[in-house]
Amino acid sequence: MNSPAAKTAVALIVIGLLITWAAWPKHLPPADEANRVLHPDGYSIISPPGWTMQRETEAATLVDSNHGWLKLEPAKKGYYPPSLNILVLPNPPDVNELKVKQKFVDGTFHGQPVLIRGGPNKKYWSYEMIFKDQDRWFHLSLSTPDYNDVPTSEWWPYVNSFRYEPEKAVKQIAVTRPTTFHFSIDTAKPATTKASP
């Protein structure tokens, strides 16, 4: 232990532990209704303080895999930042496949049936819920850098704050898929432009 290499190794371990401790997520304050964020499509959730929101509306999405989404994450990301995501599913899910192949189990959320799954997902602990609220299917997921029994944790008031109020949706103009243009230039003739459907 008196060798320079051993002292250096111990110093590096201590520094690494201090950095990890400083960057690790701290306890969450109670969920505050003043921090509720509303998606233009009418669903909302309380954001932890100091977090940022990204979103895409149903009208603006150009993919078929969802009808819009909302993502919350810390403004200061740190080491393995947690995130809270809401995805609007385009179609009702295959419940049998979710249960058999993806290991979702039955539960309740806001007094309604829900499919739930929790477990490791790469470097994170993932907690997921798939449920129908009125006319839409939602996939709500929380990713944290360590194990969480979410329904008994400080995360639950945030997850449980989800609301879908379609009367609060903002009317949007649908966006059409972009058209691809191909240009060809013939030096012997004037330039022409062709548009593909």
- For 146-190, the pLDDT digits (tens) are 888 999 999 999 999 999 999 999 876 555 444 443 433 444 444
State the chain's maximal CA–CA distance in angstroms: 83
The range of the structural domain enclosing residue 152 comes to: 36-172
CATH number of the domain that residue 49 is part of: 2.60.120.1690
Residue 144 lies in a domain: yes
How much is the pTM?
0.73
Instruction: Give pLDDT tens digits for 8-46.
Output: 877 787 776 556 544 545 578 999 999 999 999 999 999
Residue 3 lies in a domain: no
Interatomic CA distance for residues 48 and 35, integer angstroms: 7
Number of Cβ atoms within 10 Å of the Cβ of 36: 13
Instruction: Give pLDDT tens digits for 91-136.
Output: 999 999 999 999 999 999 999 999 999 999 888 999 999 999 999 9
Residue 26 lies in a domain: no
SS3 82: coil
- Split into its structural domains, the chain has a count of 1
Residue 187 lies in a domain: no
